[in-house]
Amino acid sequence: MKVYLETFGCQMNRLDSELVASVLVQAGHEMVRDGRGADVVLYNTCSVREHAEEKVHSRLGEQMHRGGRGRRMIVGVLGCMAQRLGDDLRKRYACVDIVCGPGRLHELGDLIAEAGAGQGRVALDPRRGERKSGADIESLDSARDADLVPSASQAYVRVMRGCDKFCSYCIVPFVRGPETSRRPEDVAAEVRRLVDTGRSEITLLGQTVNSYNFSDGGRTVRFGDLLGMLSPIGGLRRLRFVTSHPVGFDDDILQAMRDLPNVCEYIHCPPQSGSDRVLGAMNRGYTRSEYDDFIARARAIVPSVVLAGDFIVGFPGETEEDHSASAELIRRSGFKNSFIFKYSPRDGTTAARRLADDVPLDVKKRRNNELLAVQAEVSLAHHRAMIGRTVEVLVEGPSPRANRQASPATKDKTQLIGRSRWDHIVVFDGPDSLAGTYADVSVYDATSLTLFGRRAR
């Protein structure tokens, strides 16, 4: 069958979609880029924010309308939204044949075959108390086809699934289940396969990646140990990881960043708020002082480290004083960038059950814009400090704004875009043939989002 797959949400969802495509191609299906001619339409969904779910509801509404006018196709909802809503999706949308949780994606070939025979099914993950061995992760991840990895030079590799942190606003522990770490040997084997096919930059993924902890037969492998196992793999030029949590970000991880030459000195570790009172209501598990100590440790052990964060504005009970504390934390921490979101309650979370969503929407919007402005100011200062430096850039290809040259254009050059090892976005002029390679770029200008450079001679 021809299968169209649309992905919503985070890097983990994008990786899941890559792996699903591998499973389906190996089962004899064909992946297509246009849903209009497909036999199967799949939506791999996110439940972290309401807006992501609204998009899926819109797509399903379109399918309902289309189903009454044209040929019948199989429709499936996968991932976090599927796990959260379950059979309610089939009750609400007659067009939905398959509802598949993130831990059951390896069964999708069978689910499509059953749906093709007129037997749609809901396949959800076990409840949190029913811990799994991790075999379901490996059956999906180990089936990966390197030819279906979108980038010829970069790839994501999952090291763990799930979360045990239970932040009061977050649905992830309920839709992704408990923390389950992959065998380090299986992670290493996947990294080797990807590097052998030309992927020189690998990003390790986990909901709280620094919580990686694999125990078996009396041995324990923690995240710092895993970095040490992967770093020597020949051809692995850059090793990244996202996303981290301040709790459990121990010095051994920082020491690995300092000592292992291909581990990038970049940490995305969301504080979410600068206020102790709000952090307590969020159940984040640390205080503002403890987060400040983490930043200080990171900079002491890895002087070249670059940091990024996330913030939620308008959390229940947030005052102007709490909001100001978040702005002060951005300035104090010197984040390269931050992702800033307006709070919206998610059904099934502690915050939605117990806390009134009492910050008006107009106040949330104002605070969101104010934090964005503070972060833009800090980002600009960070980026301007890079002017005059030469950075190594992994070139991704032509910039989306390739017609707007970074410097005077010539016939054999276009504006290219890539990233430094510290995750800076860098644009410079060069030939298209540099895509997928590394280039030394001298930075001559900067905005709050981008470094502009010239290829070093």
Residue 403 has pLDDT above 60, yes or no: no
DSSP secondary structure of 116-185: HTT--EEE-PPPTTS---SHHHHHHHTT--GGG-S-SSEEEEE-EE------TT--HHHHT-S-EEPPHH
Q: Which residue has the tokens 């389950």?
A: 180
Q: What are the tens digits of pLDDT across the range 195-251?
A: 999 999 999 999 999 999 999 989 999 999 999 999 999 999 999 999 999 999 999
Return the DSSP state at 419: E
Residue 132 has pLDDT above 90, yes or no: no
CB atoms under 10 Å from CB of 32, counted, come to 17
Listed range (187-191, 262-266, 315-319, 405-409) with the worst mean pLDDT: 405-409
Q: What are the tens digits of pLDDT across the range 51-99?
A: 889 999 999 999 988 765 556 799 999 999 999 999 999 999 999 999 9
CB 204 within 8 A of CB 228: no
Alpha helices in 197-319 (DSSP H): 223-230, 251-259, 276-282, 288-301
What is the Cβ-side half-sphere exposure of residue 426, based on CA atoms within 13 angstroms? Answer: 30
Q: What are the tens digits of pLDDT across the range 385-402?
A: 999 999 999 999 999 876
Residue 263 has pLDDT above 80, yes or no: yes
Give Cβ neighbours of residue 176 (< 8 Å, ≥ 6 apart).
80, 83, 102, 161, 162, 163, 207
Q: What is the mean pLDDT of residues 443-448?
A: 98
Report d(CA 348, CA 357) in Å as an integer.
14
Quick one: how far is CA 4 from the chain centroid? 22
Angle at 360 between CA 358 and CA 363, to 5 degrees: 125
- Percent of the chain at pLDDT > 90 equals 86
Quick one: how far is CA 317 from the chain centroid? 28
Structure tokens at 175: 């839709």
Residue type at position 419: R
**In b/e form, how buried is each residue of 299-315, taking b as 16+ CB within 10 angstroms?**
eebbeebbbbbbbbbbb
Residue type at position 31: M
Residue 31 has pLDDT above 70, yes or no: yes
Q: What is the pLDDT of residue 406?
A: 44
Average confidence score pLDDT of the chain: 93
- Percent of the chain at pLDDT > 70 equals 95
Q: What are the tens digits of pLDDT across the range 307-341?
A: 999 999 999 999 999 999 999 999 999 999 999 99
Residue 147 has pLDDT above 90, yes or no: no
Q: What is the pLDDT of residue 51?
A: 84
Give Cβ neighbours of residue 38 (< 8 Å, ≥ 6 apart).
1, 2, 3, 4, 32, 73
CB atoms under 10 Å from CB of 80, counted, come to 27
Q: Which domains does the chain have, with CATH numbers?
A: 2-123 (3.40.50.12160), 135-384 (3.80.30.20), 390-455 (2.40.50)
